[in-house]
Amino acid sequence: MLIEKYTSIKPIIEKVYIDTDYQMEIPFEDLIIWAVDAMDLLGYPLTYVPKVMGKEGDPTYDFTNYRIQLPCDFHRLEAVAVDGATAYHATDSFHQLMDGACCGFDNVSSATQDIFLTAIASYSPQADPITPQMSNSPVVTFSINDNFITFNKQKGEACIAYKAFPVDDDGFPLIPDNAKYIRFITTYLIWKLDHRLWRAGYISEKVYRESKDEYLWAAGSASSALKMPSVAQWESMKQAFFRLIPQINSYGNNFKDQLTKNGRL
C-alpha cells in the first residue's frame, strides 16, 4: 500500500480519550513513546519517510576521518555512496582498523596473492604473465556501529539514502492516514493504558483482556492492509520480476535499472 499522506498523533490521542471516556489525565509523553513503539512493532517500511543526506551543505557531505554520524531522525539505511560510487557493506573482519596500519594485513594479502599468481603461472610457463585484475577504483565498504557509518576510505564525499521517522512541525510522530492503521495505534495505546491500570488493580482482568484482544485484532487488520500493494506497486513488481535478462547487479546502481525494458534479441 502506498502511504499517500500522514496525520498527527494529536487527534489519535484525542480519540483515546473519546473511546475510553477516562476522566483522569493521561500522560502525553507516555502515549507518544507507545505510539512510536507500535510503529516499530508493525515494522512496515513505507511508514517511514525516505530521505537523502549528503547534499551540499549537509554535515555528512564531507568526511576526513573515515566516518560520518547518522542523522538524528535515522531509522534504517537504504544505500550509501562515496564520491559518486555505491558503497558495499564490509565483509573484512578488520574493517574497523580503518587505516589498516595494524598487524600488516595489507602485506599478508599481497603475499597470498603473489603465491597464487606464481602457482598459476607454473602450470603454463609459455603463457603471458598473469597480473592482478585491477578496477578503476577500489571498492568502498562501510559498517554501522554506535551511531556512525565507518568507511574503508579516509576522506571523501558521502551521500546516504535512509528511512526517517515522520514527525510534524512540533516534533510529534506522524501516523499514516489510513483507517486501519489509525485504529491499530489507538487500540495499542488503550491496551497499554489498561495494562498499567490492570497491574495497579484499578480495572478488572475482563476489561484488560478485551483491550488486548481488540489491539491484537487491529494489528492483524492493519498489517494485512499495509501489505496489499497498489496498482502502481504491482506494475513495478511485475516489471522487475518478469524479465528475459535478469538484473543481478542492480545494487551497484541503486536499483535504477529494475524497470528498464529488455531490448530485442
In terms of Cα–Cα distance, which of 185, 192, 183 is closest to 212? 192
Write the pLDDT tens digit of every residue in 4-63: 788 889 899 889 988 888 888 888 889 999 999 998 888 887 788 888 888 766 766 788
pLDDT of 133-187, one tens digit each? 444 567 889 988 888 999 988 888 898 999 988 888 888 889 888 899 999 999 9
pTM for this predicted structure: 0.70
Of 225, 215, 157, 162, give the one whose Cα is nearest residue 186. Answer: 215
Phi, then psi, of 42 in degrees rounded to 5: -70, -40
Where do the domains of the chain lie? 6-47+168-232, 52-164
